[in-house]
Amino acid sequence: MKNKFDVIVIGGGQSGLAMGYYLRRSGLSYIILDNQHESGGAWLHAWKSLRLFSPAQWSSLPGMIMTGGSDYYPTRDVTIEYLKFYETKYSLPVKRPVDVFNVYKHEDGFTLETSEGSFFSKTVVSATGSFSNPYIPDISGINIFKGQVLHSNQYQTPETFTGKRVAIVGEGNSGAQILAEVSRVTGTLWITQKEPRFLPDHIDGRFLFDAATQMYEAQKNGKAYKPPSLGDIVMVESVKEARSRRVYKSLRPFDSFTEDSLVWSDGHEEKIDTIIFCTGFKPSLKHLASLGIINDDGKADTDGTKSKQVDGLWLVGYGNWTGFASATLIGVGRSARATVEQISEYIGSEK
């Protein structure tokens, strides 16, 4: 049958490529379907000045260390080039652009309805990440606000906001980094759920990953260990520079919008032109809706990466609920390798 494979991976970003790395050695027939026009996944849409907060050596997929060593923090563009080269080096069979609309389970496997017709497989791996499903809280009056409402996934450069008053919502790394550069060109407000916490200057993503790994190992052995939170702000150079300008003064959440302002419960009001929500993402699982497995949290119930409800379906790279640190470049390899091992066993048992 045309377009029939042992494994179809949906998504050609970092998680899909990690899956490809291990699948290429499995002897299984597979294809990676990606809805982008080029390699790079979600990184293609990140803001221009973004830098990883882990050094290159700790920001690599399995089989190929990103160049730069232990002291270089890669840019967005360097990361995209790395992913392009990775895909080429391992001759991964990525077909793009292909939109997957629906996934259906039947007795012999799966049928995928896509923009390029139907595809068929014995197993499916969903590796679509969360970048295309940004979360913006439903705040009273947001529909009457006449200013600009953005999510961080739409943000590109600060110059766009010159001369406007900009509110930035969110106390994580995205909020701190976007505030750092927008505050250089215009007036800003920073709105956070709680008082932001900044990590010591010497702590970066490498340290956080090592600490989180220690927590992971401790939990497996029934021991208690609490590492620094990945939500705490890493002191990359742009954040250090903004700190020197004393821009990191935050307000607690507001209650509602007017046509041109934010309003707090005590009546305090601030006029703004633009608001940028750095409030995170939810898994991009719309293509799995036809399987009826998406729960109230917008996730699917899994045992590791394996779906608990649909045999032959795995979900890779969505965060700790699909494998420890699986939403990171360095962490997804572990989940991908375990998933390919399970798929090989599953397909072997079906024969």
**Residue of 61, 78, 128 lying closest to 288 (CA atoms):** 128
**Residue of 148, 155, 151 lying closest to 136 (CA atoms):** 151
List pLDDT tens digits, range 121-150: 999 999 999 999 999 999 999 999 999 999
State residue 255's pLDDT score. 96
Residue, of 328 and 82, whose pLDDT is higher: 82
Altogether, the residues listed in the chain come to a count of 351
How many angstroms separate the CA atoms of 73 and 177, rounded?
A: 14
Six-digit token string for 103: 């996934």
Task: Answer yes or no: is pLDDT of 72 > 90.
Answer: no
The average pLDDT across 110-119 equals 97
Q: Helix 173-182 vs helix 237-244: angle between axes, to the nearest 10 degrees?
A: 60
The DSSP annotation for 279-337 comes to --B----GGGGGGT-B-TTS-B-EETTEESSSTTEEE-SSSGGGSTTTTSTTTHHHHHH
Q: Give me the residue label for tokens 């970048």.
A: 131
The average pLDDT across 313-328 equals 90
Omega within 30 of 0 (cis) for the link into 134: no
**Cβ neighbours for 174, distance < 8 A, ≥ 6 positions apart:** 152, 278
State residue 222's pLDDT score. 65
List pLDDT tens digits, range 235-294: 888 999 999 999 999 999 999 999 999 999 999 999 999 999 999 999 999 999 999 999
Q: Helix 14-23 vs helix 332-350: angle between axes, to the nearest 10 degrees?
A: 50
Partnered with residue 4 across adjacent β-strands are 120
State residue 82's pLDDT score. 96
Six-digit token string for 62: 């399995």
List pLDDT tens digits, range 10-31: 999 999 999 999 999 999 999 9
Task: Answer yes or no: is pLDDT of 216 > 80.
Answer: no
The class of domain 148-198+233-277 in CATH terms is alpha beta
List pLDDT tens digits, range 141-199: 999 999 999 999 999 999 999 999 999 999 888 999 999 999 999 999 999 999 998 88
Task: Answer yes or no: is pLDDT of 205 > 80.
Answer: no
State residue 314's pLDDT score. 98
Task: Answer yes or no: is pLDDT of 45 > 70.
Answer: yes
Task: Answer yes or no: is pLDDT of 64 > 70.
Answer: yes
- Least confidently predicted of 58-62, 189-193, 211-215, 232-236: 211-215
How many angstroms separate the CA atoms of 1 and 215, rounded?
A: 47
Task: Answer yes or no: is pLDDT of 231 > 70.
Answer: no
* Cβ atoms of 338 and 304 closer than 8 Å: yes
Q: Helix 76-89 vs helix 14-23: angle between axes, to the nearest 10 degrees?
A: 20
State residue 17's pLDDT score. 98
**Cβ neighbours for 11, distance < 8 A, ≥ 6 positions apart:** 32, 33, 34, 35, 41, 126, 127, 128, 129, 317
Task: Answer yes or no: is pLDDT of 220 > 90.
Answer: no
**Residue of 120, 115, 155 lying closest to 134 (CA atoms):** 155
Q: Identify the band that residue 324 occupies on the pLDDT scale cut at 50, 70 and 90.
A: confident
State residue 227's pLDDT score. 55
Strands 4-10 and 117-126, bridge-based pairing: parallel
- Least confidently predicted of 23-27, 221-225, 306-310: 221-225
How many angstroms separate the CA atoms of 111 and 102, rounded?
A: 8
Which residues in the chain are classed under CATH 3.50.50.60? 4-132+281-350, 148-198+233-277
Q: Any idea which architecture 4-132+281-350 has in CATH? A: 3-Layer(bba) Sandwich (3.50)
- Least confidently predicted of 21-30, 80-89, 101-110, 198-207: 198-207
**Cβ neighbours for 13, distance < 8 A, ≥ 6 positions apart:** 34, 36, 40, 41, 42, 43, 83, 127, 128, 129, 317
